[in-house]
């Protein structure tokens, strides 16, 4: 990941690296977990903070926003959409979903170039 420390555009190899470690973070945190209302708050904060920390230690050319949604698996509909006004060449976003038996976790990462 250090090889991407000086990259200026989020789209490209940096995006793939970020995708890999977000997916592994979600897998590690959510597998074999049941939805608990009290713990979910702590869990989603932990996921957000750990992803943000990894992002910022590897690349300082961006401002990052990490958004995490943890939802109990139930018979309900869910729709999510995002709209961004930025510079398409340097800025970018990623959305990753991870489903287990009891929980659905969705993480959005937005990166704005400095």
Partner 1 sequence: MEENQNLEENTYSQEEVDRITQESIESVLKEVQYDESKVQGWINAICEKVTQQLIELGKPYKYIVHCMIMQRNGAGAFVTTSQWWDTVADGQIIISWPKDKQAKQEQQKNTLHCICSVFAVSMI
Which residues are near partner 1 by CB under 8 A? 35, 37, 40-41, 44-45, 47-49, 51-52, 55-56, 62-87, 91, 93, 108, 110, 112
Residue with tokens 């597998």: 31
Q: How far is the CB of 18 from partner 1 (least distance, A)?
A: 13
Q: How far is the CB of 20 from partner 1 (least distance, A)?
A: 19
Contact 109, 66 (CB under 8 A): yes
- In whole angstroms, what separates CA 90 from the centre of its chain? 18
Cβ closest to partner 1, residue 16 vs residue 69: 69
Cβ closest to partner 1, residue 19 vs residue 61: 61
Cβ closest to partner 1, residue 19 vs residue 108: 108
CA–CA gap between residue 15 and residue 9 (Å, rounded): 9
CA–CA gap between residue 59 and residue 31 (Å, rounded): 28
Q: How far is the CB of 112 from partner 1 (least distance, A)?
A: 4
Q: Please give the angle made by the CA atoms of 86, 90 and 92, to the nearest 5 degrees.
A: 65
């Amino acid at each position: 990941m250090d090889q991407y420390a000086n990259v200026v555009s989020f789209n490209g190899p940096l995006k793939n690296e970020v995708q890999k470690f977000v997916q592994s973070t979600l897998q590690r945190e959510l597998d074999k977990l049941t939805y608990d209302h009290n713990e979910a708050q702590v869990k989603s904060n932990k996921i957000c903070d750990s992803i943000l920390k990894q992002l910022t230690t590897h690349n300082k050319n961006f401002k990052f926003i990490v958004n995490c949604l943890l939802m109990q698996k139930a018979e309900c509909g869910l729709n999510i959409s995002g709209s961004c006004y930025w510079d398409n060449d340097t800025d970018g976003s990623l959305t990753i979903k991870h489903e287990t038996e009891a929980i659905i976790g969705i993480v959005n990462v937005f990166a704005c170039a400095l």
